[in-house]
Amino acid sequence: MRTVNLLKIAAEAEVLRLRSMLARQARRAAFGAGALIFSLAVLALVEIAAWQTLRLYVEAIAATLILLGINLVIAAVQGAFAARSSPSHTEGELLRVRRDALDGAKGALSNTAAFPLLRQADRRRRRAFFRFGR
């Protein structure tokens, strides 16, 4: 009975952990999509204004290359922010609960399941001996 309860706790902890993780990923995707839309709009307007301003001081190719470098830095910073998302405290706790419950269930299951398996193996060994051992 204890094994079944431990397995139920492990399953519930895993479901809650997955829900928490999915909620975090959904929030991350929503914020990322919103940031992408606004970043593209701002970047387009900044590009136009910067290119027009740079064009007054340098040639068109040089202005374009300068803006390309700036765009690369902006993309790297945004990529770093998008990649920086660690699991929440709740996810870590639920993972620990699941592992503890599964470890407890394994211990209880190994004690109760070992004896029938040993008996079954002994019966097979005896049958094989009487069939082929004579």
Q: Please, is 13 exposed, middle or buried when counting C-beta atoms within 10 Å of its C-beta (0-12, 13-18, 19+)? A: buried
**Could you tell me the pTM of the whole model?**
0.39
CA 25 to chain centre: 8
Statement: residue 130 has pLDDT above 60: no
Q: Residues 25-80: pLDDT tens digits? A: 999 999 999 999 998 998 799 889 989 999 999 999 999 999 899 889 989 998 98
Higher model confidence: residue 93 or residue 119? 93
Report how far residue 10's alpha carbon sits from residue 99's, in angstroms, rounded to the nearest whole number: 7
Q: Residues 100-123: pLDDT tens digits? A: 888 887 776 666 655 566 566 666
Report how far residue 31's alpha carbon sits from residue 26's, in angstroms, rounded to the nearest whole number: 9
Domain ranges of the chain: 2-126
**DSSP character string of 9-25:** HHHHHHHHHHHHHHHHH
Residue 99 parent element (H or E): helix 89-132
Residue 75, token pair as written in the block = 């993309």
